Structures are given as structure tokens and as C-alpha cells.
């Protein structure tokens, strides 16, 4: 791979020259990038399953071509090498490579997503999460798979002007483990498959590339002998420059956590956090992800409103639309608000909420997530019900084109299978933003490797 080569070709005057050539602009950007840069077999596999997917999503979302090429050039120069070796079915087994991706059920380490808001079309943002790895991941040299993510973040710090390492460096000091401690932890908990750290990117329509760090809490909480909730609270309280300003919000969150009634399963589990890799300040945002023990609509309603603490107009409208979501996608009927959802697929995942904390805020703001593949018989049923929901809320344009967009984006996945559409999120925001929903996917990395002829 040529270091920095994509950015040189797809920015500034060279890019402008390309964009004036109709023979170039008539072709898919991912094909143009492939034709002008070098790819070995591993790079080619990851380009087919990540670069092409993201490019198709940006095309479907109507991204400006200059922004589209900037994002693909960034992906090639900085991210492509972070995907690691081509996945094999024996990964994580005694006769194979010691590391296997942990954050998606099927073993993929790439989760692209579409963030839809307002009208569900022109505001769409394309995003993705990566669980980095390398040939050292899972070996004694990187037993918890921390080092490939660190290398990616250092490349991003050089490539992106507003990529600030203040909170990241604090996170490394407080939540990551050194090699010696990591080896001890893996010996003490040999069956644990929790990830240690993920990273995510928003390809914003303005051209800005926003990095987001996602540290998990399992390993460090065991090392320190404290709960994950206590570790998350401690971390946020100590964030450089702004930590003390989170105090009112954290206090309210802690009170809410311990007050969840027994009929809803009691206190939820605390799983991970998420923060933007930007300079800390008054607009800083840190999220804690929590998982309830129940899946009913009334459970979702309780967490969405923080047990009734949030009762403003936007929250109430959000609850009204969330009720439609449960009705259309999850097939609950009048009088079934306390009914637990029917499980179609085995595996981890259920309801999840992120609680967003901002300096000086009195309360965190929750956002709803559901591991949708677990509660559906197939990808086709998810598409059918999701488009029906979009029609109910007035997103007709997105509904009409979605099935074809999906098949174009993931041609190696069958609609009759399950696992490609992983998570759906939902929130309703004040100030004119309205409905805010994301659709998350797995590329089914092992399926893709086989069906695209790489293994």
C-alpha cells in the first residue's frame, strides 16, 4: 500500500481535475479509487467489503462527489491496514489464528451504519465502527487487541486537523491495560470475549471526518475490582478540563440506575462508553451504554424517559413514535406493552440505551437501540417491517428505495438469511431535528470472504 497516496490524488487540484472529467464522474467512486491505487489481496478483500459498501451508501445518500472521494481517500490511507488479515472460519479456534472479532455476533469487525434524521433522506450521514486488529492480535504481544487501534488513532491524529488526543490519552491511562496486566487478566478469565476498544467514524456531509472512541469496561473493572458503573462514573468525573461539570448529570444517572424497579429487572448492566475525539469543552459529549434486563415496550419507555424524569414535549413525542416502532417492527398489539419480545435467533444483544452526558446538564439524554436480528426471522422481514415503519412516519422516499439499495450494497448476502441488519436505534430530538434513527449492518465478513472468492 502506498502511504498517503490516495489523499494526494483525491484532494485539491488533482481531485478538481478528476471531477471535471465526465468519464470519471460517470463511474462509481469506489471503482475509480481502485483503478488508481495499489491493492494486494488483503487490501482488495477489505476494499470490497468496507470501501465499496461505504461508497455505495454515500452514493445512495447523495453525498457531494468531492466529500465522497475525500472519505474514500482517508479510508485507503489510514484505515484499510487496520482491518487485519482476511477472516477465516477457524479464527479464534485452537487450529487457527488466535484472534476473532468480538463485537458482532458473526465475527465481523466492521459495522457500517446509516444515520437518518428529519426527512430520512437529504440529511443522511454514513458512519462505521471498526474493531482493529493485526497479526499480533490475540498473541502474547497484544493479548487484548489494543495496539492496532492505537496505531490507527495515531495515523488519524496526523491526518485530521481537529483530531484532538486529550481525552483519548486520558482514556489510555485510566482504562487500558499494559501487556503484563492484560496477560494476567486473560489467564484469570479465559472464556471472556469482551472487546477492549472499538473506534468509529462519521463521514459528515460537510466533509468533516469525526472520530469516536468506544472503550469497553469489562477488563479494567476486573483489574481494579470495581463495578463497570463505578468505573464509568470515575472516568467521566476525571475527564480533563470538563470532568467536574458532569457532576449533576452523573448524580442523576446514578440515582436512576439504582431505582429501576424489580419488575423491569432492576439495575441494568453498564457496558461501554463513547466519546468524540475532539478538544474538550462546553460542547463535549460522553455516552455510557447500559443494557436493561427486559425487552417490553414499557421497559423501553421507562428507560427512554429515565423513569419519568424526562417529560418534555420532545420526549413525549419520541415515546409516541417508539410505540409505533414496537407495533410495526416488533408486532406488539394493544394491551401487550409488558410482553417480552419473541426471540428468533440465539446470541447476545437485546435492548440497549446510550445516556449522553454534557457539561452542566442536569440529566443525561437516552437513545434507544435494539439488536434487531435477534427478534426477526430474516433480513427480508426486517426490510419489510422497517420500510412499513418509515411509511408510517412519512419517510416514503427512503422506504421506496431501501430494498434495492440494500441488495446493491450487500450483493453477497441473501435476504432469507439473518444477521446483516444488526441494530436499529431511535430518538426524537427537539429544535426541528425530529426523528433520529440509525440502521447498523454487518458485512457478514466470513460469508463475504467465501462468496467473493477470497478463501
List the one residue out of 379, 421, 425 whose CA is nearest residue 112.
Answer: 421
Is 187 found in the same domain as 70? Answer: no
Residues in the chain: 455
Q: Examine the fold and report which residue of 34, 53, 83 is the final residue of a domain before the chain moves on.
A: 83
| Positions of E strands within 8-121 | 110-117
Cα–Cα distance for residue pair 449/48, rounded to 1 Å: 10
Do 229 and 239 lie in one domain? The reply is yes
CA distance 109 to 103: 7
Q: Which of 83, 104, 130 is the last residue of a domain?
A: 83
Do 143 and 225 lie in one domain? The reply is yes
Query: Of 83, 110, 129, which one is at a domain's C-terminal end?
Result: 83
State the pLDDT at residue 1: 37
Q: Does pLDDT of 230 surpass 80? A: yes
pLDDT reading at 120 higher than 80:
no
Percent of the chain at pLDDT > 90 equals: 91
Q: What is the mean pLDDT of residues 6-22?
A: 93
> 75 with 90, same domain?
no
Q: Do the Cβ atoms of 30 and 56 come closer than 8 Å?
A: yes
Q: What is the DSSP letter of 48?
A: I
**Beta pairing partners, 289:** 272, 354
Cell representation of residue 383: 426490510
pLDDT of residue 3: 42
Residues 7 and 127 occupy one common structural domain: no
Pure H helices in 47-133:
52-60, 65-74
Query: Do 313 and 370 reside in the same domain of the chain?
Result: yes
Secondary structure of residue 165 in the 3-state scheme: coil
> Are residues 354 and 240 both part of a single domain?
yes
Question: In this structure, are 51 and 106 located in the same domain?
Answer: no
pLDDT grade for 194, boundaries at 50, 70 and 90: confident
In this structure, how many other beta carbons lie within 10 angstroms of the beta carbon of residue 215?
A: 26
Provide the domain count of the chain.
2
pLDDT at 2 over 50: no
Mean pLDDT value across residues 94-119? 91
Domain match, 374 and 328 both: yes
Judgement on whether residues 70 and 204 belong to the same structural domain of the protein: no
Which domain does 197 fall in, by range?
84-451
Q: Do 335 and 324 share a structural domain?
A: yes
Q: Compute the average pLDDT of residues 345-350.
A: 89
94-108, 308-322, 366-380: range with lowest mean pLDDT? 94-108
Query: Does the predicted model carry a pTM greater than 0.75?
Result: yes
The packing angle between helices 65-74 and 29-36, to 10°, is 50
What pairing do the DSSP bridges indicate for beta strands 434-441 and 421-429?
Answer: antiparallel
Same-domain status, 292 and 390? yes
pLDDT for the residue numbered 433: 78
What's the mean per-residue pLDDT of the chain? 94
Amino acid at each position: 500500500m502506498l502511504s498517503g497516496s490516495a489523499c494526494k490524488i483525491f484532494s485539491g487540484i488533482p481531485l478538481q481535475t478528476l471531477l471535471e472529467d465526465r468519464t470519471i464522474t460517470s463511474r462509481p467512486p469506489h471503482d475509480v479509487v481502485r483503478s488508481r491505487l495499489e491493492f494486494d489481496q488483503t487490501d482488495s478483500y477489505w476494499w470490497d467489503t468496507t470501501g465499496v459498501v461505504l461508497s455505495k451508501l454515500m452514493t445512495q445518500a447523495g453525498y457531494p462527489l468531492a466529500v465522497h472521494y475525500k472519505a474514500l481517500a482517508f479510508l485507503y490511507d489510514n484505515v484499510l491496514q487496520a482491518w487485519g488479515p482476511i477472516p477465516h472460519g477457524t479464527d479464534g479456534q485452537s487450529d487457527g489464528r488466535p484472534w476473532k472479532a468480538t463485537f458482532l455476533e458473526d465475527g465481523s469487525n466492521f459495522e457500517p451504519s446509516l444515520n437518518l434524521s428529519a426527512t430520512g433522506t437529504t440529511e443522511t450521514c454514513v458512519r462505521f465502527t471498526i474493531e482493529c486488529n493485526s497479526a499480533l492480535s490475540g498473541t502474547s504481544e497484544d493479548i487484548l487487541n489494543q495496539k492496532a487501534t492505537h496505531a490507527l488513532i495515531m495515523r488519524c491524529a496526523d491526518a485530521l486537523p481537529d483530531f484532538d488526543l486529550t481525552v483519548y490519552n486520558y482514556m489510555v491511562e485510566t482504562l487500558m491495560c499494559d501487556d503484563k496486566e492484560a496477560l494476567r487478566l486473560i489467564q484469570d478469565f479465559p472464556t471472556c470475549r469482551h472487546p477492549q476498544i472499538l473506534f468509529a467514524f462519521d463521514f459528515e456531509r460537510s466533509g468533516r471526518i469525526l472520530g469516536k472512541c468506544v472503550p469497553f469496561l469489562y477488563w479494567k473493572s476486573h483489574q481494579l475490582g470495581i463495578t463497570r458503573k463505578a468505573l464509568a462514573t470515575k472516568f467521566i468525573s476525571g475527564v480533563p478540563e470538563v470532568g467536574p461539570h458532569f457532576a449533576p448529570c452523573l448524580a442523576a444517572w446514578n440515582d436512576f440506575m439504582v431505582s429501576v424497579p424489580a419488575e423491569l429487572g432492576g439495575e441494568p448492566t453498564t457496558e461501554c462508553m463513547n466519546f468524540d475525539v475532539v478538544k474538550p469543552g462546553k460542547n463535549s459529549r460522553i455516552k455510557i451504554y447500559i443494557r436493561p434486563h427486559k425487552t417490553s415496550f414499557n421497559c423501553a419507555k421507562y428507560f427512554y424517559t429515565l423513569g419519568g424524569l424526562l417529560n418534555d414535549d420532545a420526549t413525549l413525542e419520541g415515546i409516541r413514535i417508539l410505540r409505533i416502532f414496537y407495533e410495526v417492527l416488533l408486532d406488539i398489539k394493544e394491551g401487550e406493552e409488558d410482553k417480552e419480545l419473541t426471540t428468533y435467533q440465539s446470541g447476545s444483544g437485546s435492548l440497549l440505551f446510550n445516556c449522553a452526558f454534557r457539561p452542566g446538564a442536569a440529566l443525561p439524554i437516552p437513545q434507544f437501540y435494539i439488536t434487531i436480528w435477534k427478534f426477526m426471522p430474516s433480513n427480508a422481514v426486517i426490510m419489510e417491517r422497517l420500510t412499513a415503519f418509515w411509511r408510517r412516519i412519512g419517510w416514503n422516499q427512503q422506504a421506496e428505495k431501501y430494498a434495492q439499495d440494500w441488495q446493491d450494497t450487500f450483493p453477497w448476502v441473501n435476504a432469507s438469511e439473518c444477521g446483516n441488519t444488526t441494530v436499529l436505534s431511535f430518538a426524537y430530538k427537539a429544535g426541528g431535528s425530529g426523528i433520529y434513527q440509525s440502521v447498523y449492518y454487518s458485512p457478514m465478513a466470513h460469508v463475504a470472504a467465501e462468496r467473493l472468492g477470497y478463501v
